[in-house]
Structure 1
Amino acid sequence: MKKRLLLFGVLCTQFMVLAQQDAWVYLKDKQNVETSIVNPTTILSQKAIDRKNRHNVVIDARDVPVNESYITQLKNATGITVMAKSKWFNAVHVRGAETDINNLKTTFSFVDHIEFANRSLNTSKKSQEKNQSKFTSALTNFTYGTAANQIEMIKGEQLHLANYTGTGMTVAVIDAGFPNVNNMAGFQRLRNANNILGTYDFVGRDTDVYTNTTSNHGTLVLSTMAGYIENQFVGTAPDASYYLFITEYAPTENPVEESYWVEAAELADSLGVDVINSSLGYTTYDNANYSYSPSDMNGNTAYISKGANIAFEKGILVVNSAGNDGNTSWQIVVAPADAAGVFSIGAVQSNGLYATFSSRGNITQPTRKPDVVAQGQGSVVIFENDVIASANGTSFSSPIMSGGLACLWQALPNKTNAEIMQLVRESASQYNSPDYFLGYGIPNLQTALNLALSIDKNDKDIAVSLFPNPVKKFAYLKLPISEERVSITVFNMLGKYLFETVVTPLNNKMDVSSLSKGVYFAKLESNNVSKTIKFIKN
């Protein structure tokens, strides 16, 4: 069953195009990499640079654009149509006959390798291995109307009451179309504040996302975050700023839409976007040779999932619908929600019980999926004719949560995307007993905020430290002499539990030699100590 727009029950037209193939052409190098990194304003916006600096995200070769002369040569190649490009992968999505695509490898010395969407055509082991590789005062006393339940379920209204309504946060909505958003009364408040920062249709290659569309899906999704009708409806982040991107062409199913999505994520990164909401999912295609199998939903096979992981590495909080396959033979969370770096959102009913259509996690996925849940059955949205009505799907549980996360991050601007994700997991209703239906459960964003503030206070008040930092093999804990023993739980950047140990003032050594290079969190707990320390393993 095709699952692009994660609106439960959406039907799409089957369209078979078997004569031509889709493929990713990976390139060997880029131009002026070192110069561009030293002068980042030539490749990134200042907002993007500031966000990366704030969260210690390294600007690297992946931020440098694809060599345009290479793209021009590929466009001029016999039988080749260039559909999309990715600076993160240094790759170009092309369409053409299998022979013409294969000829690119022998014709152009800058082509490193080629991967066909039809993976049975990928005979090169190298190809397979490579790819593993403006302040305004906020109205806080909102009347939510029929949308009250979906925000109160996650305690988002408590953040609004504290003036955290999304001001200063930027959200990119990657979807299928936003008809009438430029005219609707439901988005008048958004437009009056000039909070639509930009638009782009990656399918049509123009900026018209309001009329050049085959779907109203994006309008409904956006309304759950940014919609506002006085005394009738309020979205979860009404004062955030938004970019609206189309990457999905609803009538057909083709993997080029994965490439469009990666392009949109790259643009979002360059613009300094904080949060991406994507209510899209990818499993099977019109051309069955391109289709994934459930076993491919391992977080590192689908092109879009690998791209989403890079977006996470770049400091973006990527939020994605888990999928609507709970009642189908597919059943499990779809790409890109299967990626470890994606905060995947399942669906519950208005009473908090599991919505049976919501896709489930699986032991083969790299982290607990879904991460958390929000209301996706009977969600309240605004349609393109300004009618307020209910709709079903993880398409809506995801943006409901995205808006709440934007408000939480506004309250905690010094936290990283990984820290925000972990705080929300820890606040959720079944954090200590997660399952494959609800993940960690229904979050309490007020609890997440309080937890972060208490951690920050303890960090200042308690004389506990970890050294050296970065650490190679052994880390040592400086503890108050009054502490007899302190329990330490170590998590990775994605909040995945790794191991536990115990230290005392006299035996204060922790062996981290088994950890790979990267960033980790050590959570220290005793009768008098509660503190989380971030450390780097070299």
Structure 2
Amino acid sequence: MKHLLVLFSALLFFLSAAQAQQTGGGTTEEKKHLIYFKDKANTPYSLQEPQRFLSQKALDRRNRQGISLTVRDLPVNPAYVDRLKQEGVAVWYISRWFNAAVVQCTPEKLATLEALPFVKSTQTVNRVASPQQVLDSKITVVKHASSADATLESKDYGLAYHQADMLGADELHKAGFRGEGVTIAVLDAGFPGVNTNAAFAHLFQDQQLKGTYDFVSRKADVFGNDSHGTSVLSTMAAYAPGKLVGTAYKANYYLFRTEEAASEHNIEEINWLLAAEFADSAGADIINSSLGYTTFDAPSESYTYNQLNGNTTLVTKAADFAAATGMLVVVSAGNEGNKPWRYISAPADADSVLTVGAVDSLYRQASFSSFGPTADGRIKPDVAALGQRAYFLRADGTLVRGNGTSFSAPILAGMAACLWQADYSKTNLEMIGLLRRLGRNASSPNNAIGYGVPQYNSTVTALPGSITGDGLSLSNPVSGNELILTVGDNWAKQSSVVHVLDVTGKLLLRQVLPASQSRHEIVLPPQLFPQGLYLCRVSSGSRNSTLRFVKL
């Protein structure tokens, strides 16, 4: 099998950074610095030729959401990078959003760089350089049988059923929305066991794993280091019926290591930025980040609560830039609710991200879940999901329980992927607004759980035009007595039977649909269909599909 764990074609749009890297001889005096450039003047890149630096999927996402390209999308002027290299410094990465480069050099060499006419400013992002790593993309993948297309029952979710059910993710799956076609980039500290665990076999067999990269060690292999990312990923992507089924097990994934678990420095915020830029270039729809930053190891300077105003920290700026490209950025609120800090962390303070707090199985705020508001007074978190005694997989495949907004965020991100699949015309900010409106606490949001836990059963009232799934399209909401059902070619080849039921499952109407007809008008008797939520179940041979609609 041709494995997927190399830098894929999408990385071609990031090659300007990779080609700028050098192997610098590290000494104890060398540090990493962010070198900001003054402009992108005389760049060989043009907004009229975006295919040179963005994938078609990235351009499609922008076009779908009406987002215009800006100078921020242009790569850094390569002449500036070449000049840095001529000065004898190691250039690790470059950032088009920040118009900057990450270099490794001595204080004396830094002073030389600061004097260059195109350099705007500099910032030290770690104390000493990380050890140089050998680039190696040879990865062993253990093959397992995979069949992630079976119809699921509640028992298939195993002990983790409630964390999906409380969001209605299981109902989304039944309706045919399992994340297909939606791409999620996971930024974390490592993913050991993902390439050997049977619960992730479908990601390889069905080519759902689109790429990996370790921004800490500069290599393709992310299947080592801290297992936090494996646990996070399992809540979304695992498919192990009877044990754990993730909330978006059919979505596509990019896995990026940005976190060096052994220490905490600003360089990790830059790694986050670089991974987000790559996610954008590759065409990801959603970023999940179960990471947060407030306190750093000396001599890096820690943040204060007053700096969590949505505009100050490096990673918060990066998160808002990511959102500006149309990606839905889902971040953990933090686990400081019962600690002296108490408040959310960065980038949870960003105004364009979906910040997720944690609740217990009874929808009550988990004691550790960080509080809002942001320093400038905005409500945070936005929503919440199960994070107290949530189920996830360890690197060895063991199912365990644990606490943290690290789990509530990806559980919610997976549900959001399925929901977005149901109405792909929505923008990322419209998705945030929709999820807020669907929260159990939407009428009285607070700084403990925000708008509360979103629930899918209410979403049909907010989906414009039609609900679609499995080749079917249904008018929604219905204001009169005529329900319009459109069937795809596969359904139209033979006759179908429509059953309309109320939410309790009571059959209200049965109608046979003739073959070779794509549009059907179903009359709903007024005496049987007052205002409310209904189910439309379509059957043809061995095929079955259920859609929901609202009668106004």
TM interval, shorter chain, is 0.7 to 0.9
Kindly state the Cα deviation for residue 431 of structure 1 after the two structures are TM-superposed: 1.1
Partner of 2:9: none
Q: Which amino acid aligns with 2:80?
A: Y
Q: Which amino acid aligns with 2:216?
A: V
* 2:209 is the alignment partner of 1:199: no
3-state secondary structure, aligned to 1:287? coil
Partner of 1:27: 37
The superposition leaves residues 348-384 of structure 1 with CA deviations (integer Å, 9 ceiling, x where unpaired) of 1122111111111025246310001101111100111
Shift in CA distance, 232/450, structure 1 to aligned 2, threshold 3 Å = farther
CA distance in 1, matches of 2:477, 2:391: 40
The superposition leaves residues 493-513 of structure 1 with CA deviations (integer Å, 9 ceiling, x where unpaired) of xxxxxxxxxxxxxxxxxxxxx
Partner of 1:416: 427
* 2:172 is the alignment partner of 1:159: yes
The superposition leaves residues 405-460 of structure 1 with CA deviations (integer Å, 9 ceiling, x where unpaired) of 00000001100000011011011011121111111111112312432247997999
Unaligned runs of 5+ in 1: 1-16, 119-135, 463-529, 531-538
Q: Which amino acid aligns with 1:361?
A: G
Given that 1:84 and 1:260 are in contact with CA atoms closer than 8 Å, whether structure 2 keeps it comes out as: no
Partner of 1:299: 310
Aligned counterpart for 1:440 among listed residues 441, 451, 468: 451
The superposition leaves residues 181-229 of structure 1 with CA deviations (integer Å, 9 ceiling, x where unpaired) of 1111111122211100100001111100013x2x001110100000011
Aligned counterpart for 1:84 among listed residues 85, 93, 108: 93
Kindly state the Cα deviation for residue 109 of structure 1 after the two structures are TM-superposed: 1.4
Partner of 2:197: 184
Partner of 1:374: 385
CA distance in 1, matches of 2:42, 2:76: 11
Q: Which amino acid aligns with 1:114?
A: T
CA distance in 1, matches of 2:177, 2:149: 8
Given that 1:84 and 1:259 are in contact with CA atoms closer than 8 Å, whether structure 2 keeps it comes out as: no
Q: Which amino acid aligns with 1:49?
A: L
Shift in CA distance, 195/434, structure 1 to aligned 2, threshold 3 Å = same
* 2:407 is the alignment partner of 1:396: yes
Aligned counterpart for 1:103 among listed residues 102, 112, 121: 112
Q: Which amino acid aligns with 1:248?
A: E
CA distance in 1, matches of 2:173, 2:206: 17
3-state secondary structure, aligned to 2:47? helix
Shift in CA distance, 400/56, structure 1 to aligned 2, threshold 3 Å = same
Partner of 1:521: none
Given that 2:38 and 2:118 are in contact with CA atoms closer than 8 Å, whether structure 1 keeps it comes out as: yes
Partner of 1:508: none
Partner of 1:146: 159
Aligned counterpart for 2:289 among listed residues 278, 284, 295: 278
* 2:306 is the alignment partner of 1:290: no
Work out which of the two has the higher radius of gyration on C-alpha atoms and give 1 or 2.
2
3-state secondary structure, aligned to 1:145? helix
CA distance in 1, matches of 2:259, 2:414: 21
Given that 1:178 and 1:218 are in contact with CA atoms closer than 8 Å, whether structure 2 keeps it comes out as: yes
Kindly state the Cα deviation for residue 98 of structure 1 after the two structures are TM-superposed: 4.5
Shift in CA distance, 289/207, structure 1 to aligned 2, threshold 3 Å = closer
Partner of 1:122: none
CA distance in 1, matches of 2:381, 2:30: 36
Shift in CA distance, 171/101, structure 1 to aligned 2, threshold 3 Å = same
Shift in CA distance, 83/33, structure 1 to aligned 2, threshold 3 Å = closer
Shift in CA distance, 289/252, structure 1 to aligned 2, threshold 3 Å = closer
Any residues of structure 2 matched to 1:26-425 within 5 Å, and which? 26-30=36-40, 36-77=46-87, 80-106=89-115, 108-116=116-124, 138-142=149-153, 143-211=156-224, 213=225, 215-362=226-373, 364-365=375-376, 367-425=378-436
Given that 1:220 and 1:381 are in contact with CA atoms closer than 8 Å, whether structure 2 keeps it comes out as: yes
The superposition leaves residues 246-274 of structure 1 with CA deviations (integer Å, 9 ceiling, x where unpaired) of 01111111111111111110010011100
Given that 1:83 and 1:93 are in contact with CA atoms closer than 8 Å, whether structure 2 keeps it comes out as: yes
Any residues of structure 2 matched to 1:515-534 within 5 Å, and which? none
TM score, norm. by length of structure 1: 0.75
CA distance in 2, matches of 1:218, 1:390: 15
Shift in CA distance, 385/116, structure 1 to aligned 2, threshold 3 Å = closer
Shift in CA distance, 250/308, structure 1 to aligned 2, threshold 3 Å = same
Kindly state the Cα deviation for residue 32 of structure 1 after the two structures are TM-superposed: 5.8
Given that 2:461 and 2:477 are in contact with CA atoms closer than 8 Å, whether structure 1 keeps it comes out as: no
Kindly state the Cα deviation for residue 117 of structure 1 after the two structures are TM-superposed: 5.1
Question: Taking every aligned residue pair, what percent have the same amino acid on both sides?
Answer: 43
Shift in CA distance, 460/316, structure 1 to aligned 2, threshold 3 Å = farther
The superposition leaves residues 478-504 of structure 1 with CA deviations (integer Å, 9 ceiling, x where unpaired) of xxxxxxxxxxxxxxxxxxxxxxxxxxx
Shift in CA distance, 351/75, structure 1 to aligned 2, threshold 3 Å = farther
Q: Which amino acid aligns with 2:79?
A: S
Q: Which amino acid aligns with 1:37?
A: L
Shift in CA distance, 449/32, structure 1 to aligned 2, threshold 3 Å = farther
What is the aligned-residue RMSD (CA, Å)?
2.5
CA distance in 1, matches of 2:237, 2:466: 31
Q: Which amino acid aligns with 2:100?
A: A
Once structures 1 and 2 are overlaid, which stretch shifts more, 179-188 or 281-290?
281-290
Once structures 1 and 2 are overlaid, which stretch shifts more, 58-67 or 413-422?
58-67
CA distance in 1, matches of 2:388, 2:182: 27
Q: Which amino acid aligns with 1:77?
A: E
Q: Which has the higher contact order (CA 8 A, sep 6+)?
A: 1
TM score, norm. by length of structure 2: 0.73
Kindly state the Cα deviation for residue 28 of structure 1 after the two structures are TM-superposed: 2.1
